[in-house]
Amino acid sequence: MHMNMKAWDSDYTMRGRLWGGGVSGLPDLPAGSTVLELGCGDGKTLSAMPQGWRIAALDISLPALRLCARSKSDLILGEAERLPFKGESFAAIFAYHVAGHLLLPGRSSLAQEAERVLLPGGKLFFRDFGREDMRMGRGLEVEEATFLRGTGVVTHYFTVSEAKELFFPLTPLSIENRCWKMRARGVDLVRSQVEGIFFKGSYGPEPEPVLVSDPPPPGR
């Protein structure tokens, strides 16, 4: 059984939809594009995707997938570390806040599987928490920059260089650590998210990679 499965099943069963707010910055993909979302959760990102895409959405939690039941996507119960798809099946893969909930062997397997099922010329869109995030350091540290909290879910906090290395041999077209402030109970807190777009080279010349280094969080 996946180490996080019971924790996620419990959270989605008791609390329902866990993730609020909207999703911005989705790419402009052609109609009919084959798209895979890894760790679709309660469907927050899935609900923002255009109807013209051909979407497969995967998650380890059945209660989470039930919350996506109204979606017209193909919903799949499975693990991102062992994808049930043939190689070179998808033009785009979304990995938003999924790799960070795995330990290092799982993160490495996810990246290898994503590269395997991505079409030549396809792109992987990545987002996960950065090390300047306000929650960094909370809980029991089980690996470097990886913490286990009371719910039983682990969270890893990335650097730009680490994300670039994780998804090699994919080429980073853009990658940055985006920091912003949020105010809670009169206190300014820092949120941090590493965001990247990775390209799988085809027979033509590869795009020129762009790398943005980790910036200090706002106010530092």
pLDDT exceeds cutoff 60 at 40: yes
* Contact of 78 with 133, CB cutoff 8 Å: no
Q: Which CATH number fits domain 5-16+31-199: 3.20.20.370, 3.40.50.720, 3.40.50.150, 1.10.3720.10?
A: 3.40.50.150
Provide, rounded to the nearest whole percent, the portion of the chain with pLDDT above 70. 82
Instruction: Kindly tell me if the per-residue pLDDT of 41 is higher than 60.
Output: yes
| pLDDT higher than threshold 90 for residue 7 | no
Mean pLDDT score, 108-117? 98
Residue 48: count of CB within 10 angstroms of its CB: 12
Q: Sign (positive/negative) of CA torsion 177, 68, 56, 22?
A: negative
In this predicted structure, what is the pLDDT of residue 153? 87
Q: Which two tokens stand for residue 194?
A: 């590493």
3-class SS of residue 146: strand
- Quick: pLDDT tens for 134-182: 999 999 999 999 999 877 889 999 999 999 999 999 999 999 999 999 8
> Residue 160 CB: number of other CB atoms within 10 A?
21
Domain extents in the chain: 5-16+31-199
Residue 135 contacts residue 155 (beta carbons within 8 Å): yes
pLDDT in tens, 49-70: 999 999 999 999 898 898 888 7
Confidence band for 206, pLDDT divided at 50, 70 and 90: very low
Q: Would the pLDDT of 21 be above 90?
A: no
> Element (H or E) spanning 119, and its range?
strand 118-129
